Structure 1
Amino acid sequence: MRLPLSWLLLGLSLLLTALLLGSLATGPLPLSLTESLQALLAGETSQLAPHKLLVVQEIRLPRTLLCLAVGGILGLCGAVMQGLFRNPLADPGIIGVSGGAALGAALAIVLLAPLDQQLQAKVGLGLLPLLAFLGGALTTTLVYLLGSRQGGTSVTVMLLAGVAITALSGAAMGLLSYLADDQMLRDLSLWQMGTLAAGKPADMLLALATLAILLLLFVRDAGPLNALLLGESEARHLGVNVQSLKRRLILLTAAGVGVAVAIAGMIGFVGLVVPHLVRLLCGPNHVRLLPLSALIGAALLLGADMLARTLLAPAELPVGIITALLGAPFFLWLLLRGRRTL
């Protein structure tokens, strides 16, 4: 059943508003929705307790906005990858960016831990997000070079190169895990499972800016992506510069996923499941698919983060575990539902 775009936008806007208020009220310090709204809109004359204002405005609001931004980036990049590869099983990690980012983070945690701590103390920025982003960028560049040939790029070769490099990154991470001590191994494991607890206001601003830029640039390419669904030859006949389109979308996706992974760690299934759900609701037209994937990705990750904070309260689960628990059964249902056409 495909719903009108206006209904979907209205429903998602209401859902995101409810989730935002619920996220502000969720945590070890119990707050009502009314108190959360008061803290969100509070001025200097607010009657709310100062510690509640601090918790909402300085801790929960930045984390909530970070959830929205990272979820939006992953959902949006997943929709682009599935359209570019014309494969419903594609996700942002298919070009190796997630594996490269994970390896960069592992290097920062295991081999460069003293330098990372010094930088954190002096400038407030550690090596982990920087090396994670550089690892994803370098991996994507390598995959693109391997897939390049005279006259263009081969999507198939890039796909296979991404799989191979992801396997190599996994092997290198296994070696680093073997060399790590107990604390390093715990830090590495938590990062691999994904977490938004360590996000800073600077991370939030970077993620929001990245989402806005990607959404603007990707929506501009919605028409060419629709043409590409017909096949590369047909898209060329319709006037699409296929090689330029592939290069641009791959590099932008790598940048977006690199930022998301560097900030929040490895969060799976959002970029894989969300585009499927959006296609069920509104069809394959990328003019609708791209913005709705960003909205539903944001809602999914925010809901998962709320569950991560409440299921074992006052302890907190890594959000990547929640997205896997939610996403894997849904994806299996999609496979069973469409097995005759896959």
Structure 2
Amino acid sequence: MTSATARKERGEVRPARILRAGPLAAVLVVALVLALTAAVSLGSVDVPAAEVWSVVARRLTGRAPEPGTRDLIVWQLRVPRALLAAVVGAGLGLVGTAVQALVRNPLADPYLLGISSGASLGAVAAIVLGTTLGLQLSFGSALGLTVSLAAFAGALAAFSLVWLMARRGGGFSPLRLVLAGIGIAQFLGGITSYLVLQTRDEQQTRGVLFWLMGSLGGAVWAQLAVPAVAVALGLALLQARARGLNAMLMGDETAAGLGVDVARLRREVFVVTSVLTGVLVAVSGAIGFVGLMVPHVCRLLVGADHRRLLPLSALTGALLLVVVDTVARTALDGQELPIGVVTAVLGAPTLLYLLDRRLERS
């Protein structure tokens, strides 16, 4: 039996040609800069790209901003939102890559496995039940630390419950994992909807519902610090464990034979992905399918080595969400689409395609 036939029977997917990670990363960085420029430039009031960079340069060098509304639109409204989209997209790409390695299933992502639903429930419970100690969370303004902690706790609890259900009987079933994630996500979503309906403020109810579908509206500079630090630390921690994640793709026994402490690595990845998901959901709501699509695309381009896959997934996720957020803002005149609507349109066909491939191989 040839090695190619053996890989096919195991369900492994190898790219037809592995691209060099360095040049691909450079292309992604350039594309991300262009996408950020377009995101700041386009809107109800278009701002020329040259003027965008002029405003940014003035602000970064400490010079006095030019009088007028263009500076307000560019620096105070659009630049924070575009950067937050990049940070959230990078984080979702990282979480999706880590989770897929952890469960050895390319169909896994924080949305499908119920992690995002658990984080959403924790955040909404903190807001609706008044556990933010008087700190008002206006979606897209100040980020309450309590909301992030509640979202993290919800994400960790949901992920743990899904994992325990998938490991029932001592074995591990990828199909059971996905089905458990979908079921728990629906259950937690129902509780979240009930809590939202308990709010007495109709405007707050509409705001929470819109945020739950994914929104970066009203992003401000104060929101960027926590998720940016969390994503940077998450990337560093996961990158340091890239070899262990590579070994886990071959199974727990093989990884242990290669000297990997599987139980410890799994706990660490559990915590890192739950923290990232909780922080990201707290600032953007539950945005589905980014963590599913991005790792799959990057794996097709550069292979399954997480030393290359993790940073490229972060760059690709950042690029994707900046583009998606720009489309969500500008597709309809005078109306903003929730980001989750756009990612669902892109992600659902991707999920069906992956399911079809797995069914064919089985």
TM-score between both structures, scaled by the size of structure 1? 0.86
Instruction: Check whether the contact 2:113–2:180 (CA below 8 A) recurs between aligned residues.
Output: yes
1:241 aligns with 2:257: no
Instruction: Check whether the contact 2:166–2:172 (CA below 8 A) recurs between aligned residues.
Output: yes
Change in Cα spacing, 1:142 to 1:279, as seen in structure 2 (3 Å) is closer
Q: Distance in 1 between matches of 2:147 and 2:211?
A: 10
Moved more, 259-268 or 313-322: 313-322
Could you list the runs of 4 or more consecutive aligned residues of structure 1 that deviate by over 6 angstroms after TM superposition? 144-149
Q: 1:41 aligns with which of 54, 57, 68?
A: 57
Offset of 1:105 from its aligned partner? Answer: 3.2
Partner of 1:71: 89
Moved more, 98-107 or 302-311: 98-107
Offset of 1:79 from its aligned partner? Answer: 0.6
Q: 1:202 aligns with which of 213, 222, 229?
A: 222
Q: Distance in 2 between matches of 1:147 and 1:338?
A: 18
Change in Cα spacing, 1:47 to 1:180, as seen in structure 2 (3 Å) is closer
Partner of 2:270: 250
Offset of 1:19 from its aligned partner? Answer: 0.6
Q: Deviation string for 1:276-320 (max 9, x for gaps)?
A: 100111111111111111100000000000001111133211111
Q: Distance in 2 between matches of 1:276 and 1:148?
A: 24
Gaps of 5+ in 2: 1-16
Structure 1 SS opposite 2:231: helix
Instruction: Check whether the contact 1:109–1:187 (CA below 8 A) recurs between aligned residues.
Output: no
Q: 2:281 aligns with which of 254, 261, 276?
A: 261
Instruction: Check whether the contact 2:117–2:286 (CA below 8 A) recurs between aligned residues.
Output: no
Partner of 1:84: 102
Q: 1:107 aligns with which of 92, 110, 125?
A: 125
Change in Cα spacing, 1:269 to 1:144, as seen in structure 2 (3 Å) is closer
Instruction: Check whether the contact 2:111–2:287 (CA below 8 A) recurs between aligned residues.
Output: no
1:173 aligns with 2:192: yes
Q: Distance in 2 between matches of 1:87 and 1:274?
A: 14
1:317 aligns with 2:333: no
Instruction: Check whether the contact 1:95–1:140 (CA below 8 A) recurs between aligned residues.
Output: yes
Q: Distance in 2 between matches of 1:317 and 1:247?
A: 37
Q: 1:14 aligns with which of 18, 30, 36?
A: 30
Instruction: Give the RMSD, CA atoms, in angstroms.
Output: 3.0
Q: Deviation string for 1:208-227 (max 9, x for gaps)?
A: 11111011111111111111
Q: 2:312 aligns with which of 292, 297, 304?
A: 292
Change in Cα spacing, 1:140 to 1:89, as seen in structure 2 (3 Å) is closer
Change in Cα spacing, 1:85 to 1:44, as seen in structure 2 (3 Å) is closer
Offset of 1:125 from its aligned partner? Answer: 5.0
Q: 1:212 aligns with which of 223, 232, 244?
A: 232
Q: Deviation string for 1:56-83 (max 9, x for gaps)?
A: 1222111111111110000011011111
Change in Cα spacing, 1:249 to 1:31, as seen in structure 2 (3 Å) is same
Partner of 2:150: 131
Instruction: Check whether the contact 1:109–1:188 (CA below 8 A) recurs between aligned residues.
Output: no
Instruction: Check whether the contact 2:143–2:283 (CA below 8 A) recurs between aligned residues.
Output: no
Offset of 1:231 from its aligned partner? Answer: 1.2
Partner of 2:294: 274
Partner of 1:53: 71
Q: Deviation string for 1:111-163 (max 9, x for gaps)?
A: 44xx7694229x955565553334324444666788899xxx97659947655
Q: Distance in 1 between matches of 2:323 and 2:85?
A: 9
**Quick one: which amino acid aligns to residue 120 of structure 1?**
Q
**Quick one: which amino acid aligns to residue 78 of structure 1?**
G
Partner of 1:32: 48
Instruction: Check whether the contact 1:192–1:266 (CA below 8 A) recurs between aligned residues.
Output: yes
**Quick one: which amino acid aligns to residue 234 of structure 1?**
T
Q: How many residues align?
A: 336
Offset of 1:85 from its aligned partner? Answer: 0.7
Moved more, 51-60 or 270-279: 51-60
Gaps of 5+ in 1: none
Q: Distance in 2 between matches of 1:333 and 1:140?
A: 25
- Identity percentage over the alignment? 40
Partner of 2:244: 224
Change in Cα spacing, 1:231 to 1:315, as seen in structure 2 (3 Å) is same
Moved more, 265-274 or 324-333: 324-333
